[in-house]
């Protein structure tokens, strides 16, 4: 059987003007992952990343520490937008008026999220529940169902191109991993998102495949961070 390693990006710049930038800690997490995979002797036959900066930079930083030669490492990363994260900022904006009706302070909390992390998470969870339910569709906004279809199309492309014993790395995001979990283990989307909130930056989730048959072999492993015995390395955004 072959293996697909779903790798969540390193810590991004939560609360900054541009979230899609790896933080210094995000680069440190990526390096730790690369060192760990190198020690295990893991070699990837195929590496794919979404097109977001935090995904691509996690891929580059990880593969560099796995001692891939610079030029071949760069050319080895295939970019596939199917593995992009859903546009959380667009989801929030589309549902903001509805949220303000029940949470008048929502705008202030979202505009200063870094200083209101617990309140941000509570309100963001409320919005995500509305979005994934399919009962509050917004014109021009990618629906949860469409997002899952996009991710599934990318997965099928991977499987159709793979050899039977390939080891494939997919550098992606928490929402994308959540969509794949829903597809593979059949949990309702709300339940899948309960797992999403637990996905650690640069964690590994492993799928085993034979043709298009898939099974979840492991979820959210972050041993590479735990071994460093620094709790600050374990982050969720």
CATH code, 60: 3.40.50.1240
Q: Is residue 171 domain-shared with residue 73, that is, in the same domain?
A: yes
Query: Per the domain annotation, does 151 fall within a domain?
Result: no
Between CA 9 and CA 58 the distance in angstroms is: 6
pTM: 0.90
Q: Is residue 74 domain-shared with residue 96, that is, in the same domain?
A: no
Between CA 164 and CA 212 the distance in angstroms is: 10
Query: Per the domain annotation, does 148 fall within a domain?
Result: no
- Structure confidence at residue 68 as a pLDDT band (50, 70, 90): low
- Structure confidence at residue 110 as a pLDDT band (50, 70, 90): confident
Residue 122 pLDDT more than 60?
A: yes
Q: Output the pLDDT for position 131.
A: 92
Q: Is residue 121 domain-shared with residue 54, that is, in the same domain?
A: no
Query: Per the domain annotation, does 140 fall within a domain?
Result: no
Task: Using alpha carbons only, give the angle 172, 63, 69 rounded to the nearest 5 degrees.
Answer: 145
Q: Is residue 69 domain-shared with residue 173, that is, in the same domain?
A: yes
Residue 73 pLDDT more than 50?
A: no
Residue 199 pLDDT more than 90?
A: yes
The structural domain count of the chain equals 2
Percent of the chain whose pLDDT exceeds 70: 95
Q: Is residue 24 domain-shared with residue 121, that is, in the same domain?
A: no
Q: Is residue 14 domain-shared with residue 116, that is, in the same domain?
A: no
Q: Is residue 61 domain-shared with residue 97, that is, in the same domain?
A: no
Query: Per the domain annotation, does 155 fall within a domain?
Result: no
Q: Is residue 73 domain-shared with residue 101, that is, in the same domain?
A: no
Q: Name 213's bridge partners.
A: 210
Residue 71 pLDDT more than 80?
A: no
**Structural domain harbouring 94:** 88-133
Query: Per the domain annotation, does 138 fall within a domain?
Result: no
Q: Is residue 54 domain-shared with residue 22, that is, in the same domain?
A: yes
Q: Is residue 55 domain-shared with residue 12, that is, in the same domain?
A: yes
Residue among 165, 11, 155 nearest 80 (CA): 155
Q: What is the mean pLDDT of residues 132-146?
A: 92
Which residues, at least 6 apart from 74, have a Cβ–Cβ distance to it below 8 Å? 60
Q: Is residue 20 domain-shared with residue 63, that is, in the same domain?
A: yes
Query: Per the domain annotation, does 144 fall within a domain?
Result: no
CB 204 within 8 A of CB 222: yes
Q: Is residue 93 domain-shared with residue 69, that is, in the same domain?
A: no
Q: What is the mean pLDDT of residues 92-118?
A: 86
Query: Per the domain annotation, does 116 fall within a domain?
Result: yes
């Amino acid at each position: 059987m072959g293996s697909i390693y779903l790798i969540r990006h390193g810590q991004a710049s939560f609360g900054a003007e541009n979230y899609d930038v790896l933080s210094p800690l995000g680069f440190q997490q990526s390096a730790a992952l690369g060192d760990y995979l190198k020690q295990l002797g893991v070699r990837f036959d195929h590496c794919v990343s979404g097109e977001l900066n935090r995904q691509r930079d996690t891929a580059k930083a990880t593969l560099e520490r796995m001692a891939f030669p610079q030029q071949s490492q760069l050319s080895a990363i295939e970019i596939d937008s199917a593995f992009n994260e859903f546009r959380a900022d667009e989801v929030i904006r589309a549902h903001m008026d509805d949220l303000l009706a029940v949470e008048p302070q929502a705008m202030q909390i979202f505009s200063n999220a870094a200083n209101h992390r617990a309140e941000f998470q509570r309100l963001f969870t409320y919005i995500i529940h509305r979005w994934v339910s399919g009962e509050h569709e917004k014109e021009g906004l990618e629906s949860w169902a469409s997002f899952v279809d996009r991710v599934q199309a990318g997965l099928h492309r991977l499987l159709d191109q793979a050899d039977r014993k390939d080891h494939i790395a997919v550098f992606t995001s928490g929402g994308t991993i959540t969509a794949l979990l829903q597809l593979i283990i059949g949990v309702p989307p709300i339940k899948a998102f309960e797992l999403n909130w637990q996905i650690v930056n640069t964690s590994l989730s492993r799928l085993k495949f034979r043709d298009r048959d898939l099974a979840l072999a492991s979820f959210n492993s972050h041993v590479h961070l735990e071994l460093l015995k620094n709790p600050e390395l374990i982050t969720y955004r």
